[in-house]
Amino acid sequence: MRDATIEREEARGGAVAAPEAVYLERRARFGVERDHAQRARYAAANATVALFLAALALIIAGLAVHALLLTAAGILAGAGFVVAFRRQGQADERHRRAETLWRLSEEGLARPRRDWKALPLRRPETPPPMDGAALDLDLLGHASLQHLLNTATTPPAQSRLQGWLLTPATPATIRARQAAVAELAPDVELREELTLFGLLSGMTQGGYDRFLEWAEGGPWLSRRPALLWASRILPALALLAVAASLLRLTDLPLWLIFVAANIVLAWTAGKEVERRIDAVAERQAVFQPYAAIFARVEGEAFQAPALRAIQSHLTADGMRASVRMRHLGRIMAFADLRHSSLIFPPVQALTLWSFHVLWALEGWQRTAGARARRWLEALGELEALAALGTLAFDNPDWAFPEIVEGEAAPALEARDLGHPLLAPGGRVGNDVTVGPRGTLLLVTGSNMSGKSTLLRAIGVNVTLAQAGGPVCATALRLPPLVLATSMRVADSLEEGVSYFLAELRRLKAVVETAERAEAARQDRSDGREGTPERTALFLLDEILHGTNTAERQTAVRHILLRLLALGAIGAVSTHDLGLVRVPEIAAVSRPVYFTETFTRGPEGPAMTFDYTLRPGIAPSTNALKLMEIVGLPVENGEPGGTST
């Protein structure tokens, strides 16, 4: 898939630049734009103040001495003030945009280094509980997969991306996302425009929800025909009466009667009208920026079916999301007249302006309100795909996995598999095979040698693969999987749960996951539809070390054999070399190990690790060697024995 991305970019006539070079070039470019905009805003601000003071002084002086020329000069200075004020606003906006894009380039440089402190953690305002695989594999939270995929900035995009990490997609959906992600990966401009949109809009989950609540809600004014027609007829009569008076068609001030009726209506029903317009005005920050980004997406020449489907959602039924959002913005521009304490009162008294604004808003509700959720969710999906596209762009040596269904691929097979959350310089890849069904990978090795990291590398890459993203490997082939893990277990003083009991509960959940997976497989084989068929993949790190060795071996053996009998596949790390020699386990396991190099020098003992996976059982342990390195006493000064 990576080769296809490169070929596509070369076909467009452009060379494929290294991610670091792209971010450095963009950082330099936006830094120049930011500095230029900063100078422009200062100049415009100074001009604004100077022209305002000049206009004020000239007009006052002109009126004081009855000098028409001075007054005219003051009026011209006032016009210049308006122009300078507008240019200051434009310069402020350019500065904000350039500054934000500069920061995004900085983040692009920090992501490959896995500099978590330099990367904002962007996630839903209410994250789910951190337990199970999400906790064991660092899927959510600080220094997590979610943290690495930090370019989704709107609430719907963040929620969707989080859902993809926690819930594996179907094979067909994975393949569709892969094509979309591969197409988005080289399009840095579009991806950063999507991120920029979310950052500049400042959208919150509450604002997003309230906007949709209004958009999908029912009308108020339109359901009151008497009030609606009164708001139309009374202003028309008032304007006709004013015209009649100006044309001297009548000497009676009839317009006062109709204006008085308008004022009464504005002071009674008009209060509810104002409240409803205010509710929409509070959400302008949510919907107004959408028009431009919708137009950008609608105009893209996408090829991937998933991306074209998003475009179709934005233009369904002959209604373009960008046009309708722009129309809503124009309506709210008319509503902004209410903020003028000088102009609005007479306009409201004569025309019942607010009633007409609310009627226009309710017209938008009728024609476009029901589609707004689909539009916003479609853009959220595009943002989530773009986040995976950024991951693919930042890591051009990663591959898109192959998802194989049925019995054709009963095992997970990876080449040069590494941990995605480790920086490239500190990451070691290994060839890994887990499966076929009913077998496990048994990982042994000394402390700190890489056993837990290997298990997490498998789990995180499976999560990425089934979200539709690239994986930290040169190749990965796997069947549809459901993850079940027991790696980080904690006791609970509040609930009165010991560590051992907490671990037993986690293992019970692992077994139940495998049971559900096997039940779904049986349903499929019997021709019954139900839960999609997935193979359970269990990842168990040093389980049941809260009890004695003899009981631990017996319990672990029973649990593993039960999981394998259910057709699960898995990887288990252990220090217990006796477990490896249990005949039932040896018959269904593939043993691999990590090791270390122990040296003595002038500065004392030292230990190094190469984190390279080897076939077989670990030939050494290092617990006592580590004790010696940190300065703890070792019997007779001789390290040795087994680790615990």
Residue 610 CB contacts under 8 Å (≥ 6 apart), including other chains: 428, 595, 597
Q: Is the model's pLDDT at 640 over the cut of 70? A: no
Helices (H) and strands (E) in the chain, counts: 25, 12
* Spatial distance between the Cα atoms of 593 and 54, rounded to a whole number of angstroms: 81
| Band of residue 496 on the pLDDT scale cut at 50, 70, 90 | very low
pLDDT mean over 50-62: 87
Predicted confidence at residue 147, as pLDDT, reads 97
Average confidence score pLDDT of the chain: 86
Other CB atoms within 10 A of residue 271 CB: 11
Predicted confidence at residue 372, as pLDDT, reads 92
List, as one string, the DSSP characters of 302-350.
Answer: --SHHHHHHHHHHTGGG--HHHHHHHHHHHHHHHGGGG-TTTHHHHHHH
* Spatial distance between the Cα atoms of 437 and 568, rounded to a whole number of angstroms: 6
**Hey, what's the torsion of the CAs at 335, 340, 342, 343, to 10 degrees?**
-30
List, as one string, the DSSP characters of 450-477.
Answer: SHHHHHHHHHHHHHHHHHT--BSSSEEE
Q: Is the model's pLDDT at 629 over the cut of 70? A: no
| Band of residue 359 on the pLDDT scale cut at 50, 70, 90 | very high
* Spatial distance between the Cα atoms of 66 and 547, rounded to a whole number of angstroms: 100
H helices within 485-613, ranges in order? 499-525, 549-565, 577-580, 583-587
Q: Could you tell me the pTM of the whole model? A: 0.86
Highest mean pLDDT among 285-294, 365-374, 575-584: 365-374
Could you tell me if 169 and 468 are in contact, meaning their C-beta atoms sit under 8 angstroms apart?
yes
Could you tell me if 596 and 609 are in contact, meaning their C-beta atoms sit under 8 angstroms apart?
yes
Residue ranges per structural domain of the chain: 1-115, 197-394, 402-637
Q: How far, rounded to the nearest angstrom, does the alpha carbon of residue 560 sit from its chain's CA centroid?
A: 37
Sheet hosting strand 440-445, strand order edge to edge: 481-486, 535-541, 569-573, 440-445, 589-594, 614-615
CA dist 105 → 118, 141, 155, 198 (Å): 12, 22, 22, 16
Predicted confidence at residue 548, as pLDDT, reads 64
Which has more confidence, 15 or 57? 57
| Band of residue 139 on the pLDDT scale cut at 50, 70, 90 | very high
pLDDT mean over 54-76: 84
Q: φ and ψ at 425, to 5 degrees? A: -70, -25
Q: Judge if the upstream peptide bond of residue 436 is cis by omega within 30 degrees of 0.
A: yes
Q: Is the model's pLDDT at 60 over the cut of 70? A: yes
* pLDDT tens by residue, 322-335: 999 999 988 888 88
SS3 23: helix
| Band of residue 546 on the pLDDT scale cut at 50, 70, 90 | low
Fold of 402-637: Rossmann fold (3.40.50)
